């Protein structure tokens, strides 16, 4: 894959990340980088620390050791809000949609960061606030068209089937027009058809908008098909890093997946 697209420089560089909760070591000295415009997959057995990795990148968790460099700025501690401002968006493993809101409102929250009108302007619905609302509504409608969820705009997200909720989760992230998109198991629990749709969306996002993607996925077929480079975690340690072909031949990875004793 990746034919015809140009992979750029390193945009995200993690050095020696260690993270623990009390006595549990979730990540141990993990180092890897992500290049502009690539699809980078993180794989590994359950509990390998994959989600923790994403949480470190956008500042939900703060690692005890290591640095995160994004767009050249090196940090020990990422601030969640700053990460969002700098164009890092993400989806969640267990769908973290705002369940009391409609599909449209959920996706509109992705634009919140760009909406500037003040409290009084909103309360009195001044023309400036109205105009701003409309501009962003139009941007959101483009995402809705792109992900083909027009019919569900006004539905409360809680009433949607699982596969569609995953799509709305992605839509909300895309509404942020991210430079770097973190996807936490975007295809978990989907049927084959839904998975195909989701693959297509991910590749389109990567292709059309040039968005760099870091994704966690369990379906090996999918991972090997759509990603440019793969990193393998096991018990919080990195045990493999390379192109899908290299990973396929990596003995440590095979052992981890087949369960050879440590």
Partner 1 sequence: MKKNRNLMILFAVLLAGLIAPLVTGASGAGFWVEVLLGGLMAGVLYSLVALGFVLIFKASGVFNFAQGAMVLFAALSVARMAEKMPLWAAMLMAVAIMVVLAFVIERLVLRPLVNQDPVVLLMATLGVTYFIDGFGQTVWGSDIYEIDLGIAREPVMILQSVFDGGILINKDDVAATAAAALLVILLALFFQKTKTGRALRAVADDHLAAQSIGIPLNRIWVIVWSLAGVVALVAGVVWGAKLGVQFSISQVALKALPVVILGGFTSIPGAIIGGLIIGVGEKMAEVFLAPIAVKAFDLAGGGIENWFAYVLALLFLLVLPEGLFGEKHIDRV
Partner 2 sequence: MLYRENGQFKTSYRADQQMLPILQDRIFMGLLLVFVFVVAPFVFSNYFFLSILIPFLILALAALGLNLLVGYCGQISIGHAAFMSVGAYAAYNLVLRVPQLNFLVVLVLAGLIAALVGLLFGIPSLRIRGLYLAVATLAAQFFMDWVFARVKWFTNYAPSGSVSTATIDIFGFQINSPVRKYLFLAAVVTVFAILAKNLVRSHLGRAWMAMRDMDVAAEVIGIRPVYAKLTAFAVSSFYVGVAGALWGFVHLGSWEPLAFSITLSLNLLFMIIIGGMGSILGSFFGAFFIVALPILLNRAPDWLGIHLSTAMVSHLESMIFGALIIFFLIVEPQGLARLWSIGKEKLRLWPFPH
Binding residues for partner 1, rule: CB under 8 A, are: 21, 51, 55, 60, 92-94, 96
**Per CB under 8 A, does 76 bind partner 2?**
no
Single out the residue of 60, 188, 224, 252 in contact with partner 2 (rule: CB under 8 A).
Answer: 60
Residues 98-127 interacting with partner 2 (rule: CB under 8 A): 98-101, 105, 108-113, 115, 117, 119, 122-125
**Per CB under 8 A, does 188 bind partner 2?**
no
* Least spacing, CB of residue 159 vs partner 2, in Å: 12
Is the separation of the CB atoms in 181 and 205 below 8 Å? yes
Measured from the CB atom, the residue of 160 and 256 that comes closer to partner 2 is 160
Residue 94 binds which entry of partner 2, partner 1, none, CB below 5-8 Å type-dependent: partner 1
Measured from the CB atom, the residue of 114 and 200 that comes closer to partner 2 is 114
Those residues with Cβ within 8 angstroms of residue 174's Cβ, 6 or more apart along the chain or in another chain: 89, 110, 143, 146, 147, 181, 205
Q: What are 34's two structure tokens?
A: 């992500």
Measured from the CB atom, the residue of 61 and 104 that comes closer to partner 1 is 61
Tokens 């996807």 appear where? Answer: 183
Measured from the CB atom, the residue of 60 and 126 that comes closer to partner 1 is 60
Return the closest-CA partner of residue 26 out of 237, 190, 249, 244.
237
Element (H, E) at 70: strand 65-70
Residues 195-254 interacting with partner 2 (rule: CB under 8 A): none
Measured from the CB atom, the residue of 6 and 94 that comes closer to partner 1 is 94
* Least spacing, CB of residue 149 vs partner 2, in Å: 16
Is the separation of the CB atoms in 253 and 232 below 8 Å? yes
Helix boundaries (H) for the chain: 50-57, 80-85, 103-109, 119-123, 127-146, 162-175, 192-208, 220-226, 244-248, 251-258
């Amino acid at each position: 894959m990746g034919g015809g697209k140009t992979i750029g420089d390193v945009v995200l560089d993690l050095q020696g990340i260690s993270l623990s909760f009390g006595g549990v070591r979730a990540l141990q000295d993990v180092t890897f980088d992500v290049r502009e415009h690539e699809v980078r997959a993180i794989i590994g057995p359950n509990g390998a620390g994959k989600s923790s990795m994403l949480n470190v990148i956008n500042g939900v968790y703060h690692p005890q050791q290591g640095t995160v460099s994004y767009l050249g700025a090196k940090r020990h501690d990422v601030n969640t809000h700053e990460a969002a401002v700098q164009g890092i968006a993400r989806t969640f493993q267990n769908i973290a949609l705002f369940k009391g809101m409609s599909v449209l409102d959920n996706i509109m929250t992705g634009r919140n960061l760009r909406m500037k009108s003040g409290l009084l302007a909103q309360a009195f619905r001044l023309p400036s606030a109205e105009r701003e609302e409309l501009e962003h509504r139009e941007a959101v409608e483009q995402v809705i068209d792109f992900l083909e969820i027009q019919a569900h705009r006004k539905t409360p997200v809680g009433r949607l089937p699982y596969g569609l909720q995953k799509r709305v989760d992605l839509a909300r992230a895309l509404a942020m027009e991210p430079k770097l998109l973190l996807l936490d198991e975007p295809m978990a629990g989907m049927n084959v058809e839904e998975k195909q749709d989701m693959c297509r969306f991910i590749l389109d996002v990567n292709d059309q908008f040039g968005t760099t993607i870091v994704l966690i996925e369990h379906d090996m077929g999918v991972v090997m098909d759509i990603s440019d480079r793969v990193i393998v975690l096991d018990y919080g340690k990195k045990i493999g890093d390379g192109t899908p072909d290299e990973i396929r031949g990596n003995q440590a990875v095979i052992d981890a997946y087949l369960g050879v004793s440590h």
